[in-house]
Structure 1
Amino acid sequence: MKMRYPLLLSLLLITQVGLAQVALKKYALTGLTIIDANHRTPLSGQTVIIENDLIREVFPDNSKPLPDSLVNINLKGKFLLPGLIDTHVHLATDPSGTDNRSHTLEVLQRMLYSGVTTVRDMAGDARTLAGLSRDALTGDIVSPDIYYAALMAGPVFFADPRTGTSTRGATPGKMPYMLAVTDSTNLPLAIAAAKGTGASGIKLYANLEPGLVKKIVQEARRQNMPVWGHAWLQAAIPSDLVDAGVSPLSHAPLLVHEAYKDVPASWKATLHSQQFWNDSTPDLTQLFKRMQKQGIILDATLLTYQKWAQSDSTMWYDYELGKRFVTAACKAGVTICTGTDDDQEAFVQEEIKLLVREAGLTPADAIIAATLHGAQALHIEHTHGTIAPGKAADLLILDKDPLVKIDNLDAVYLVIKKGAFYKK
């Protein structure tokens, strides 16, 4: 007799505190509708076989017999997506203060239960991040998988107080994960040391010349280390970074510096109409063509700029330009990924919704940005980002169709990470 388990019955046996975690070795999810980069048009009536932490098979319901011993979980009417990826978080800027372990673990747990299964931390205390990443990988904490960056910037940046809290007990600018670099820096050694911290990539932040950027990227490639960065480094403008091969580029509003060294003061002086911003937004068609041709990903981070603008009216220009740049970049075929850069006050679902409502992406485009494109940003697209045999069993199951209404991303029925169930 086949084992047909009503999922909720199994979970209710252990959910005394409102959260449940269940691990099964091998099981079938049936009756699902799949939505991912390979299925922009939802594919209904699908069975997904999961064994340990991998997807083993995907096929139409009843197209082949299921072994009698296999746990069969009927999810008819539910929608299956790859787990969501946030490509821009900051979990360890101040591990001795606001980012203390208790607070961070609580945030990571809520993040996973919402459907976020992977994050990229874009610079913090790598000593803390290494421990969190390890514990997430082993399942010792309830958390998305954590990838993180080692930061390189010009020496002047390290007067920033955030670098002090991220290197507490040491010297800002002299740690391998937070390093001041110049033309005299031994780059092979610096990148090897950054790699030794467990970082998955180098982040370029501020005050770097184009020539030095190219040298960093060339040496990092030799050592098989991706280079990520802000879309503007003061001395290096966006096209310099595109030509060097920095990808993803973070923060869509910074692309304005392809056309302006300094933004006009009038943009900050008063609030302007939408038509004003339509007329004032510079044409970056050539830059977007270069990005598309070279496969440079844009980490838009619109959410953090919207919140910044709401708290400081002089910064509305950043948000207004940023959303228009994302619209134009998407139309030009530039790959968009989804990062919040929001200190985890909101999760990546809010960035996805903003891309749909404000930047003109379709719900399918925005979901792909938060799944396959996020995996590409992290160089893990061979194991994550779509639903296919051999891919990681990091999945989000929804009660409602997010292609009909993007807010349905909040209708979470179940999250699966590495084959284990997480349900509120």
Structure 2
Amino acid sequence: MGHDDTGAPTPFSAPAAGALAVYRGATLLDGTGGPARPATTIVVAGQTIRTVGPDAEVPDVPGAEVFELGGRFVVPGLIDSHQHLATPPNRALAESVLRRHVYSGVTAIRDMADDLRQVGDLARATRVGEIPGPDIHYAALMAGPDFFDDPRTWQVSQGEIPGTVPWMQAVTEQTDLSLAVALARGTHATAIKVYADLPGSLVAAIAAEARRQGIQVWAHGAVFPAGPGEVVAAGVDAVSHVTLLVHEAAEQPLTSYKDKPPIDYARFAEGGDDARLGALFQSMLEHGTVLDATACMWVWMEEQAEDDAGRARARLQDGLSARLTAQAYRAGVPISTGTDYETEPEHPYPALFDELTYLVRRCGIPAEQVIRSATLVGAMSMGAEAAMGTVESGKLANFAVLARDPLADIDNLRSIECTVKRGRRFERADYQAEHDAKGRSEG
């Protein structure tokens, strides 16, 4: 090292291990899907939760800062299990998104493949506290060579050749998968994302090598020509986009990502559960596969469509999304809450809140189970349930304090007053003041 510079400031870092905080009088929704726990105390030591118990049973903690939460509700830190922070890279926008997330109660996100040169640094910066934001768990992508003329692959590989970099690899039957997986691991990725134009045998080989090297595999629900059943049977940890699962019932062979077979929307609009999808959901249950449904994405896609044909297609996909997500829930499949889009920068809340509302109102999932999806199942989607996802002793001190009951109305998650992430407080009022000041300066 050439000098003794102490490095960049870390104003948003977690508290020291010896710092103590006590949150008393909360009504706790602990993330398990169980009933609310009134009059609950949470004791935080540094970054972790030391104790959770009834107010009357948790003694005073000498030297602790005490926060009285009478009348307020606490949920675990929310998790968006499908984000893209750097396609294309835009550091200022990414930092703005991350800031809004953490001040809205989101304490972790799953980034589903981007330019990992930037995402890796954003993950470091939020982890050490240089910038405010959730913890970031991210994926390095693998796909067949035909995928790499997609313009997004160039956006995330600027200065290099798409398909030849560790975070964005083209693989074939001739690829040395042990080396390819090791290169992906070298980006500090949590997982490999299996995307497109791969046969089922190669998806299975990637998953097997990833397991051998101790890294997760996240995949699209259909990889083309690999169908949903093959993807699940390969043993991937999570699949994304519920509407891709419809191809398990395709009447034509799956060929390539760009040449998907048509969907018989009328068949799925008739009501009732589809038997072939039911068998797929049973396989997902047996394999422990998490469904990253991105259920309300097509509502946003309809808003973004440029013509009537695009809007009509988005409406059809939206109806399909609601029905298949509801069927997956009834089958017992664990559903996480991913978005795959984001609200405009000037919007006060992230898109995740729209996903949660959609799951309740369009898919008929009870609010307490949607909160579980946004917390514990989100942690499961990235293999982090041992450290986060519920409010319990030994886990990270990640939770949100709300003014109103989200079980009475899921939109009450927007009544956020404070986020605690790794023990550090992020006051919503501070963010709101900054947001309002920015709006006035730009107005």
TM-score, scaled relative to structure 2: 0.86
Q: What corresponds to 1:202 in structure 2? A: 192
Instruction: Map Cα deviations across residues 211-242 of structure 1 (whole Å, 9 max, x no partner).
Output: 10110001000000110010011100000011
Q: What corresponds to 1:339 in structure 2? A: 338
Which consecutive segments of 4 or more residues in structure 1 shift more than 6 A?
none
Matches within 5 A, 1:377-392: 377-392=381-396
Pick the aligned partner of 2:111 from 112, 121, 134.
121
Q: What corresponds to 1:92 in structure 2? A: 86
Contiguous gaps of at least 5 residues in structure 2 = 1-11, 253-259, 306-310, 345-349, 430-443
Q: CA deviation at 1:266?
A: 7.2
Q: What corresponds to 2:279 in structure 1? A: 286
In the alignment, the residues of structure 2 paired with residue 263 and residue 164 of structure 1 have an alpha-carbon distance, to the nearest angstrom, of: 27
Instruction: Map Cα deviations across residues 345-371 of structure 1 (whole Å, 9 max, x no partner).
Output: 443121111111111110011100000
CA contact (8 A) 2:268 2:320 kept: no
Taking structure 1 as reference, are residues 296 and 412 closer, same or farther at Cα in structure 2, changes over 3 Å only? same
Matches within 5 A, 1:184-333: 184-260=174-250, 261=252, 264=262, 267=265, 277-279=269-271, 282-283=274-275, 284-310=277-303, 311=305, 312-333=311-332
User: Is residue 2:76 matched to residue 1:82?
Assistant: yes
Percent same amino acid among aligned pairs?
40
Letter in 2 for 1:75: L
In the alignment, the residues of structure 1 paired with residue 403 and residue 30 of structure 2 have an alpha-carbon distance, to the nearest angstrom, of: 16
The CA RMSD over aligned residues, in Å, is 2.0
In the alignment, the residues of structure 1 paired with residue 247 and residue 116 of structure 2 have an alpha-carbon distance, to the nearest angstrom, of: 30
Instruction: Map Cα deviations across residues 160-188 of structure 1 (whole Å, 9 max, x no partner).
Output: 01100100000001011100000000000
Contiguous gaps of at least 5 residues in structure 1 = 1-19
CA contact (8 A) 2:228 2:247 kept: yes
CA contact (8 A) 1:36 1:367 kept: no
Match of 1:302, SS state, is coil
Match of 1:404, SS state, is coil
Instruction: Map Cα deviations across residues 355-391 of structure 1 (whole Å, 9 max, x no partner).
Output: 1111111001110000000001111101100111111
Q: What corresponds to 2:369 in structure 1? A: 365
Pick the aligned partner of 1:411 from 409, 415, 418.
415
CA contact (8 A) 2:13 2:128 kept: no
Taking structure 1 as reference, are residues 72 and 282 closer, same or farther at Cα in structure 2, changes over 3 Å only? same
Q: CA deviation at 1:64?
A: 3.9
TM-score, scaled relative to structure 1: 0.89
Match of 2:296, SS state, is helix
CA contact (8 A) 2:20 2:63 kept: no
Taking structure 1 as reference, are residues 316 and 263 closer, same or farther at Cα in structure 2, changes over 3 Å only? farther
Taking structure 1 as reference, are residues 198 and 264 closer, same or farther at Cα in structure 2, changes over 3 Å only? closer
Match of 1:359, SS state, is coil
Letter in 1 for 2:270: N
CA contact (8 A) 1:21 1:422 kept: no
Equivalenced residues, count? 396
Q: CA deviation at 1:321?
A: 1.2
CA contact (8 A) 2:86 2:118 kept: yes
Match of 2:301, SS state, is helix
Taking structure 1 as reference, are residues 363 and 256 closer, same or farther at Cα in structure 2, changes over 3 Å only? same
Match of 1:371, SS state, is helix
Q: CA deviation at 1:117?
A: 0.6
User: Is residue 2:45 matched to residue 1:45?
Assistant: no
